[in-house]
Structure 1
Amino acid sequence: MFRALLIALLLLSNTSNAQQLPNASDGLQEELITVDLDKDAKQTGLFSIKSGSKNHPRLAVLIPGYPSVFRPVVENGVMISTKLSGNFLIRSRRHLADESIAILTIDCQSESGDVCSSSYQASNERQAHVQKLINEVKKRYPTIQEVWLVGTSMGTISSSFMPTYAPRAYTGAIHTAAITEPYARNSYRELINFDYKKSGAPQFFIHHKDDPCYLTTWSGAKSISDKYGVPLITVFGGSNFQGNPCNAFTEHGFRGKELEVMQTIREIILTGTSKNSEIK
């Protein structure tokens, strides 16, 4: 029963209130890129760049939260629909794309069903599937030299585990609204005692001080930051919060602070560090 309730809440968090969002594709030029996996499965991603830009040296790989099944539809060079329109990373991606950074938003492999399971997201298979897609992107866009992972909520399972399987593949990983309470009911046990030093790549946490979701507490993020020496950038404020605690339109999804959070992510990707430990 609790699992069913959590699924309902998280589905709502990523799909509801889409009509209240600005056009998330404004100023972007986008295309779907797909590679074949084993049997009939495919791995797809949405490749986005700032309109008119080219020769990007950096790729930000965005991994959305629950259920992490993206299923984008593109027409006339922009995404027109997705199952995750409300997700923080998806609705805010236009704030990250610039002349230096291209974006690849990752779907779950095509045979996943309605949920990209936590066990799959923590697996070497997940890394291999995403890596095949990244290789195809780099083949088409050979100026890309650095690849950064950016996960949010459930997607931080992938952004945490993937560098452990391929430490040289990623320049760094940024975990936003990360899963910090793996022992909580219906949480993701794969992250119990996860060692954030294993990847060898720089990592960063961005977390709202008042994140109300019981799976993603700020105190948990602070404990992880202190234990493993991972920088923590704390977000304050926001506006127009609504919905249940794990909803993408509460502090959990940085409502009202999307621009500032994405600017900080850009700063980390461009410099490998963050000047500030707080976003106010």
Structure 2
Amino acid sequence: MTKLLFKFGITLLVAVFANLAFGQPTQRVEDIPTRPGVTQRILVLAPPTPKAAVILFAGGHGGLQITSDGSFKWGAGNFLVRTRQLFADQGLLVVLVDAPSDRQSPPFLAGFRQKPEHVADIKTVIAWVREQAKVPVWLVGTSRGTQSAAYIATELLGADGPDGLVLTSTILSDNKSQPVPDLPLSKIAIPVLVVHHEQDGCNHCAFSDIPKLMSKLDNNPRHELVTFTGGNSRGDPCEAFAYHGFNGLEGDAVRKITEWILAK
């Protein structure tokens, strides 16, 4: 009887660990052909039964230089890069985009985020995601990544475009390229969530400029501003471990974003 109970216990443990392993999102790197001679590298985290999909756009120059084993030569600390697993744990299919193959050296995505070629690349990525899972596809940008996500949402309307848009630490002013409030946001009919830290110290993301952004969304049928205070801030106020990157608030921020995406 003792041996039988022991064997039963071992079998039960094996089954439990197998189920846990099965429930873990898998991670892989994909190179998707987009424009002639160009591929778009993405890092994919896929839960077994995703509820929705998020395409994540990191800030800065955006050149993550994702290696074949899924590591990064740059940007590992970026808010959306370091929280990718948290999104997957919430049941979302996560797609983290790098600069395309023809932009794998400086300036990477700088000067490219609001170009037709960038739109073409992400249009193909959206289509690829929809082939993987029949779920809504959202674009999520942070900092300069919001200039990508918002621009693409104004260009890809209808069936080829995303089902929703999330802007975190939005670029609200910029003397080198179009800040998000200057884009034709009135064209966007999909849901839009704006997430911002009230103490963001980056001079391109002053919370006092948020009303200008929100006023451009007045005619959007479903839009909302979610704000945060507190957490931790260290280093450059425009970098990922300042308030700008929701340092110390990552779990709350991801949870709020996911709840909003999945809300009926």
CA distance in 1, matches of 2:217, 2:128: 33
CA distance in 1, matches of 2:111, 2:138: 22
Partner residue of 2:112? 120
CA distance in 2, matches of 1:138, 1:227: 29
CA distance in 2, matches of 1:172, 1:129: 18
Q: Which runs of 5+ in 1 are unaligned?
A: 1-26, 273-280
Match of 1:204 among 169, 172, 193: 193
Which structure has the bigger radius of gyration? 2
**1:160-204 deviations in Å (ceiling 9; x for gaps):** 111122122211100000000134xxx423646223221221111
Which secondary structure does the structure 2 equivalent of 1:81 belong to? Answer: coil
Corresponding pairs, count: 234
CA distance in 2, matches of 1:73, 1:81: 6
User: 5 Å matches for 1:94-173?
Assistant: 94-98=85-89, 100-112=91-103, 113-139=105-131, 141=132, 143-168=133-158, 169-173=161-165
Which secondary structure does the structure 2 equivalent of 1:130 belong to? Answer: helix
More helix, by proportion: 2
User: 5 Å matches for 1:26-105?
Assistant: 28-49=25-46, 53-75=47-69, 79-98=70-89, 100-105=91-96
Contact residue 150 and residue 165 of structure 2 kept, 8 A:
yes
Q: Note closer, same or farther for the CA distance 1:81–1:158 as it changes in structure 2 (3 Å cut).
A: closer
CA distance in 2, matches of 1:208, 1:144: 33
Match of 2:224 among 219, 227, 231: 231
Q: Which moved more, 1:207-216 or 1:36-45?
A: 36-45
- Pairwise CA RMSD: 2.0
* Percentage of matched positions with identical amino acids: 25
Partner residue of 2:169? 177
TM-score normalised over the length of structure 2:
0.81
TM-score normalised over the length of structure 1:
0.77
Greater relative contact order: 1 or 2 (C-alpha under 8 angstroms, separation 6 or more)? 1
Question: What is the CA distance between 1:35 and its match in structure 2?
Answer: 1.6
Match of 1:247 among 239, 243, 253: 239
